[in-house]
Amino acid sequence: MPLAYQPGSFWQYGTSADVLGAVVEVASGKFFGEFLKKEIFEPLGMMDTGFWVQPDKRSRLVKTYANNGEGGLKLYTGNHLGIIQQMDREPAFESGGAGLASTIDDYGKFVNMLMNEGSLNGVSILKPRTVKYLTSATLNAAQQRGFDLWQTLCGHSYGNLMRVMTDCSKAGDIGCLSEYGWDGWLGAYFCNCPKEKLTILFMMQKTDTGTTSLTRKLRNIILSSKEIV
In this structure, are 137 and 195 located in the same domain? yes
**CA-angle at 158, arms to 155 and 159, nearest 5°:** 140
Closest of 129, 117, 104 to residue 190, by C-alpha: 104
* pLDDT given for residue 82 in this prediction: 82
In this structure, are 127 and 200 located in the same domain? yes
For the entire predicted model, the pTM comes to: 0.91
In this structure, are 90 and 116 located in the same domain? no
* Count of the separate structural domains present in the chain: 2
In this structure, are 112 and 190 located in the same domain? yes
Rank 109-113, 149-153, 195-199, 209-213 by mean pLDDT and report only the highest.
109-113
Q: What is the band of 3 on the pLDDT scale with cuts at 50, 70, 90?
A: confident
Q: How far apart are alpha carbons 158 and 110 in whole angstroms?
A: 20
DSSP string, the chain: ---SS-TTS----SSHHHHHHHHHHHHHSS-HHHHHIIIIIHHHT-TT-BSS--GGGGGGPPP-EEE-SSSSEEE----BTTB-TT--S--S---SSS--B--HHHHHHHHHHHHTTTEETTEE-S-HHHHHHHTS----HHHHHHHTT-GGGTTEEEETTEEEE--GGGSSS---TT-EEEE-TT--EEEEEGGGTEEEEE---BTT-SS-HHHHHHHHHHHHTS---
What does the pLDDT look like over 177-189, one tens digit per residue?
999 999 999 999 9
Whether 52 and 88 have beta carbons less than 8 Å apart is answered as yes
CB atoms within 10 A of CB 8: 10
* pLDDT given for residue 227 in this prediction: 61
What does the pLDDT look like over 64-112, one tens digit per residue?
999 999 999 999 999 988 888 899 999 999 999 999 999 999 999 999 9
Q: What is the band of 225 on the pLDDT scale with cuts at 50, 70, 90?
A: confident
Return the higher-pLDDT residue of 111 and 152.
Answer: 111
* pLDDT given for residue 226 in this prediction: 62
In this structure, are 219 and 142 located in the same domain? yes
Domain that holds residue 196: 103-229
In this structure, are 98 and 206 located in the same domain? no
CATH code assigned at 219: 3.40.710.10
In this structure, are 110 and 95 located in the same domain? no
> Across residues 198-220, what is the average pLDDT?
92
Query: For residue 14, with 0-12 CB atoms within 10 Å meaning exposed, 13-18 middle and 19 or more buried, which class applies?
Result: exposed
* pLDDT given for residue 2 in this prediction: 84
Which of 102, 122, 147 delimits the end of a domain? 102
> Across residues 44-56, what is the average pLDDT?
96
Q: What is the band of 1 on the pLDDT scale with cuts at 50, 70, 90?
A: confident
- With respect to residue 97, please indicate whether it lies within any of the assigned structural domains: yes
Which of 76, 102, 128 delimits the end of a domain? 102
Whether 78 and 85 have beta carbons less than 8 Å apart is answered as yes
- With respect to residue 10, please indicate whether it lies within any of the assigned structural domains: no
Residue 42 has pLDDT above 80, yes or no: yes
* pLDDT given for residue 175 in this prediction: 92
Q: What single-letter amino acid sits at 36?
A: L
- With respect to residue 6, please indicate whether it lies within any of the assigned structural domains: no
Q: How much is the mean pLDDT over the chain? A: 93
